[in-house]
Amino acid sequence: NAGVTQTPKFRVLKTGQSMTLLCAQDMNHEYMYWYRQDPGMGLRLIHYSVGEGTTAKGEVPDGYNVSRLKKQNFLLGLESAAPSQTSVYFCASSYGGPGLAGDNEQFFGPGTRLTVL
C-alpha cells in the first residue's frame, strides 16, 4: 500500500509557464483534495472531488484547475504560473467527507514544493 503519492516532489517554474501536479491513491477513496501550505497561513483548500468525474472549488481556487478522470487520480493544473503560487502543495484523500460520521480521516501525500520565479 503506497497510500497517497505525489509527482513531482520539487519543481521550479518561470512566471507564465504551465504544469500539472499528479496525485494518486491506492486506498479506493472517494474524496480527494488539493491544499496549499504557506508560512503563517496554514493549510488552505484549493479544489476537491467527491468522486470520479466530479470537482468543486475550495477556499483558494483562482489560478488552478483540476480533473478527476479516474477514481485513483486527482490532477492539479497551473495554466500560467505566478510567483504568488510558490508554495508546498499537498494532496489528500478520504473514504468519506470531513462532516460525515465514520471513516473520514484524510490521508496526506508527501507534498510538492513548487517555486515560481
Partner 1 sequence: QKEVEQDPGPLSVPEGAIVSLNCTYSNSAFQYFMWYRQYSRKGPELLMYTYSSGNKEDGRFTAQVDKSSKYISLFIRDSQPSDSATYLCAMSRTGANSKLTFGKGITLSVRP
Closer of 4 and 81 to partner 1 (Cβ): 4
Q: Which of 32, 34, 90, 116 binds partner 1 (CB under 8 A)?
A: 90
Instruction: Answer whether the bond into residue 8 is a cis peptide, omega within 30°.
Output: yes
Q: Which of 18, 26, 27, 41 binds partner 1 (CB under 8 A)?
A: 41
Q: Is 95 in the site for partner 1 (CB under 8 A)?
A: no
85 phi/psi in degrees, rounded to 5: -95, 5
Q: How far apart are CA 114 and CA 98, in angstroms?
A: 27
Residues contacting partner 1: total by CB under 8 A: 26
For residue 83, the SS3 value is helix
> Which residue in 54, 56, 58 sits closest to 35, CA to CA?
58
Closer of 9 and 70 to partner 1 (Cβ): 9
Residues that bind partner 1 (CB under 8 A): 4, 40-45, 48, 50, 58-59, 90, 92, 97-101, 104-111
